[in-house]
Amino acid sequence: MSERMGFFTDTSVCIGCKACEVACKEWNDVPDDGFVFRATSYDNTGALGASTWRHVAFIENGDGWLMSSDVCKHCTDAACLDVCPTGALFRTEFDTVVVQSDVCNGCGYCVPACPYGVIDRREGDGRAWKCTMCYDRLRGGLEPACAKACPTDSIQFGPLDELRERAAARVAGLHAAGRTEARLYGEDPADGVGGDGAFFLLMAEPETYGLPPDPVVTTRDLPAMWRWAAAAALSMVGVTVLATAGRRR
Amino acid sequence: MARERAMVPKAEFGSYYGQPIIKAPIWHEPHMPLYLYLGGLSGACGLAAAVEELRAGPGGPPATVARLAAAAAAAAGAGFLVAELGRPERFLNMLRVFKPTSPMSVGSWVLAAHGGATALAAGSAVTGLLPAAGRLAALASGLTGPVMSTYTAVLVADTAVPAWHEARRELPFLFAGSALAGAGAVGIVSGLARPETAVPGRRMAALGAAVETVASTVMERRLGTLADPYRQDGMMRAGRLLTAAGGVLAALAGLPAGPRGGSRRGQGIVPAGRGPAGGWPGSAGRASAGGPVRAARAAVAAARSGYAGARTASRPGLRELAGVAAAAALTAGAVCTRFGVLRAGRASAADPAYIVGPQRERLAARRAAEAARTPGDGGRTAGDGGRTAGDGDRPAGGSG
Ligand code: SF4
Ligand code: SF4
């Protein structure tokens, strides 16, 4: 229907205000995720999870700060969606990935399938939750709550093609200004997940922010995996025939 | 390749406060490992029942205990599966759709078909009703059974968990061997009543244990340090020991062609017309668990007199004791292995080094390959490189 929408999170201008985390909780009515002092700089949220759909990472690295607002990547080839046995996870008309909470039966398969560790099952609720890219707001013609609230435009929302152009220009500008550590993450449609619908400009290696350097959608190997399973199944038949051989007839 | 990997120091790569990158599997104990065990057992028993039906021919005696064990294990396994869900009341949502991209969806349908077939086959054997339909169902469980026992390996391998995804070649064989060994244990125990029928059970047990042992050895070698979570897990180690010991015992129990070891015509892998009481590995485990030999002999004799009914209970020979010990060890080993696989998966997901290290190597290799190519086709071939990076033939590449 409409063109593919996405997030471009430019971490070089993130100020760590967590307005995105708050806006997300408010709009989506996400329950609290515990109040703990984690001693990980200003990050008391920890990681993305069932009740954390935007997560601001803080790294104090000697000469300064690294801050980054993480989110579901809305992968082109989404493992969570591939493995979901109920069809609860689906792809919307905006090419985003959303869980239908009335269909999810809490099987938990999507949780270890996501190569970014995004989606999780909520204790007590029994269902899987993650960022919807504010599906309801999108349908109403509004931008997602986090992007709306972000005071520095670190979180940018728009048609993915447009965002990719903007990001390429931004990284070129930073390189020209001598910030050669700037790099794009998840913008490449040729990467292991077919490119992210939510991609990033990072100022350090991805793993510094807790992101996998080269994520892969494991369903790519599904045909090979079924072939190995078929070989094992056939060997079971062979063993059983052998085991019962030579006793009668 | 394993050697190269072993030299990569874990601390070389950064991480975000050492936090995990992916989410560990949230599946619970004992639900998930017991489902893996019971599903595997049911599959192998269903297969055994079908092979026995084929050998017996139409009108032959049904392989009653194999049918019963297959049905009971499938039903119990399904119970654990439903209990594992966050929303058990929505279990049937699994059967709203068929999604070939989801091993769990495929598995739900396999379980439904296998559970139905084994239930029908067992019901027919017990009641004597609809023998033709029962036989057909037992034969069908020979098709669903091997899939039932191995699909769970695809299920866990199709995740971002490095110890699971990278072991996608060997895990099906590990599960297949474990399932055969578990079913062999059922055959051995039910064969106490008629020693000659324990022969296929012992063979399945010994061969299954061999398959499982070879699969886990090959896997650990091929995966290098990515297999550390398996090596470091106590359940996994216990499973390997028990399986190996059980396999050897099962083979030993079958070695000398004693007076009762001849091949008598008639019953299937397990005695026909016997109740399920003969088939339960648990009772064997209790009977033989570490007690003095005399107590064990007495227990086996009691069990035999129980199963054999009119037959005179005699002191069991060493071979039978070895068989019971083998059955107990193999059952315990199969259960331990499934717990070990889950725990190793959790440990593998929890340590970012298992993800960052292999992925950085993969990335570096791809970039080097890109740089070596002509600039013209760089973009497209980079994509192909990405697509093949996780292919089944690439060893120990680190998963997403
Ligand atoms: S980041 Fe994870 S949860 Fe989000 S779409 Fe991709 S696989 Fe699914
Ligand atoms: S937990 Fe829910 S959303 Fe996730 S795979 Fe299972 S049914 Fe689908």
Q: Three-state DSSP class for A39?
A: coil
| A120-121/A89-91 β-pairing | unpaired
CB B355 within 8 A of CB B22: yes
- Distance between Cα B309 and ligand 2 center (Å): 51
Q: Which residue has the tokens 């700060």?
A: A65
- Distance between Cα B272 and ligand 2 center (Å): 43
Chain B: give the shortest CA distance to residue A138, in Å.
27
Task: Give me the total of CB pairs closer than 8 Å, taking one residue from chain A and one from chain B.
Answer: 308
Alpha helices, DSSP H, located in B266-377: 281-288, 293-308, 318-350, 353-372
- What is the DSSP-derived secondary structure letter of residue A219? G
CB B118 within 8 A of CB B74: yes
- Tell if the CB–CB gap between A236 and B363 is shorter than 8 Å: no
Chain A: give the shortest CA distance to residue B393, in Å.
8
Q: Measuring from atom 6 of ligand 2, which residue has the nearest CA?
A: A107
- Tell if the CB–CB gap between A207 and B390 is shorter than 8 Å: no
- In A212-241, the residues whose Cβ lies within 8 Å of chain B are 212-237, 239-241
In this prediction, residue A64 carries a pLDDT of 84
| Assigned token pair, B327 | 């059955």
For residue A102, say whether it is annotated as part of any ligand binding site. Answer: no
Q: Go through A14-47 and write b for each residue having 16 or more CB atoms within 10 A of its CB, e for each that does not.
A: bebbbbbbebbbebbebeebeeeeeebbebbbbb
Q: Which atom of ligand 2 is nearest to the CA of A109?
A: 5
- Distance between Cα B34 and ligand 2 center (Å): 21
Instruction: Kindly state if the Cβ of A164 falls inside 6 Å of ligand 1.
Output: no
For residue A104, say whether it is annotated as part of any ligand binding site. Answer: yes
CB B178 within 8 A of CB B338: yes
Out of A72, A91, A100, A107, give the residue to mutate to test ligand 2, the one with the largest number of ligand atoms within 8 Å of its CB: A107
What gap in Å lies between CA B396 and CA B226, rounded to an integer?
7
- Tell if the CB–CB gap between B86 and A121 is shorter than 8 Å: yes
CB A135 within 8 A of CB A98: yes
What gap in Å lies between CA B364 and CA A214, rounded to an integer?
10
Cβ atoms within 10 A of the Cβ of B98, count? 13
Q: Three-state DSSP class for A200?
A: strand
Chain A: give the shortest CA distance to residue B290, in Å.
29
- Distance between Cα A81 and ligand 1 center (Å): 8
- Establish whether the linkage from the previous residue to A85 is cis, with ω within 30° of 0: no
What mean pLDDT is predicted for residues A188-213? Answer: 96
pLDDT in tens, A82-97: 999 999 999 999 999 9
**Is 0.85 exceeded by the ipTM?**
yes
Closest ligand, as measured to the CA of A78: 1
Quote helix, strand, coil % in chain B, to nearest 5. Answer: 75, 0, 25
pLDDT tens over chain B, length 400 residues: 344 444 444 445 689 999 999 999 999 999 999 999 999 999 999 999 999 999 888 877 888 989 999 999 999 999 999 999 988 888 889 999 999 999 999 999 999 999 999 999 999 999 999 999 999 999 999 999 999 999 999 999 999 999 999 999 999 999 999 999 999 999 999 888 756 567 899 999 999 999 999 999 999 999 999 999 999 999 999 999 999 999 999 999 887 544 443 333 333 343 333 333 333 333 333 333 344 556 556 555 655 554 444 344 456 688 888 999 999 999 999 999 999 999 999 999 999 999 999 999 999 999 899 888 856 544 443 333 333 333 333 333 333 3
- Distance between Cα A193 and ligand 2 center (Å): 19
In this prediction, residue B269 carries a pLDDT of 40
For residue A3, say whether it is annotated as part of any ligand binding site. Answer: no
- Distance between Cα B102 and ligand 1 center (Å): 15
Write the residue in A105, A113, A221 that is nearest to B93 by C-beta: A105
In this prediction, residue B225 carries a pLDDT of 95
With 0-12 / 13-18 / 19 or more C-beta atoms within 10 angstroms meaning exposed / middle / buried, residue A68 is buried
- Distance between Cα A224 and ligand 2 center (Å): 24
What gap in Å lies between CA B151 and CA B166, rounded to an integer?
16
Say yes or no: A168 contacts chain B, CB-CB below 8 A.
no
Ordered domains of chain B (ranges, CATH): 23-158 (1.20.1630.10), 165-255+287-352 (no CATH)
Which residue type, as a one-letter code, is found at position B318?
L
In this prediction, residue B61 carries a pLDDT of 81
- Tell if the CB–CB gap between B149 and A233 is shorter than 8 Å: yes
Q: Three-state DSSP class for B140?
A: helix
**What is the H or E stretch that residue A8 is in?**
strand A5-10
Find chain B residues with C-beta within 8 A of A118's C-beta. 23
**C-alpha A84: how far from its chain's center?**
15
pLDDT in tens, A53-81: 999 999 998 778 999 999 999 999 999 99
Write the residue in A105, A216, A244 that is nearest to B400 by C-beta: A216
- Establish whether the linkage from the previous residue to A213 is cis, with ω within 30° of 0: no
CB B135 within 8 A of CB B51: no
What gap in Å lies between CA A170 and CA B267, rounded to an integer?
77
| Assigned token pair, A174 | 């930073």
Find chain B residues with C-beta within 8 A of A50's C-beta. none
**What is the H or E stretch that residue B135 is in?**
helix B131-157
In this prediction, residue B316 carries a pLDDT of 65
**What is the H or E stretch that residue A163 is in?**
helix A160-176
pLDDT in tens, A15-55: 999 999 999 999 999 998 888 888 888 998 999 999 999 99
What gap in Å lies between CA A140 and CA A147, rounded to an integer?
15
In this prediction, residue B195 carries a pLDDT of 61
Find chain A residues with C-beta within 8 A of B52's C-beta. 244
Out of A98, A105, A129, A132, give the residue to mutate to test ligand 2, the one with the largest number of ligand atoms within 8 Å of its CB: A105
Q: Is the pLDDT of residue A223 over 70?
A: yes
In this prediction, residue B63 carries a pLDDT of 87
- Tell if the CB–CB gap between A215 and B400 is shorter than 8 Å: yes
Q: Three-state DSSP class for A45?
A: coil
A91 φ/ψ angles, rounded to the nearest 5 degrees: -100, 130
What gap in Å lies between CA A188 and CA A200, rounded to an integer?
11
What gap in Å lies between CA B162 and CA B179, rounded to an integer?
24
CB B294 within 8 A of CB B315: no
- Tell if the CB–CB gap between B96 and A220 is shorter than 8 Å: no
Q: Measuring from atom 4 of ligand 2, which residue has the nearest CA?
A: A110
Chain B: give the shortest CA distance to residue A165, in Å.
17
Say yes or no: A141 contacts chain B, CB-CB below 8 A.
no
Nearest chain A residue to B28 by CA distance is A108
List all residues whose CB is within 6 A of at least one atom of ligand 2. Answer: A 84, 86, 88-89, 99, 104-110, 128
Q: What is the DSSP string of B329-349?
A: HHHHHHHHHHHHHHHHHHHHH
Find chain A residues with C-beta within 8 A of B142's C-beta. 237
In this prediction, residue B365 carries a pLDDT of 93
With 0-12 / 13-18 / 19 or more C-beta atoms within 10 angstroms meaning exposed / middle / buried, residue A101 is middle
What mean pLDDT is predicted for residues A155-176? Answer: 98
- Positive or negative, the CA dihedral B167, B171, B172, B174 is positive
In this prediction, residue B289 carries a pLDDT of 38
Instruction: Kindly state if the Cβ of A211 falls inside 6 Å of ligand 1.
Output: no
Dihedral of the CA atoms B336, B24, A75, A190 (nearest 10)? Answer: -70
Q: Is the pLDDT of residue A221 over 90?
A: yes
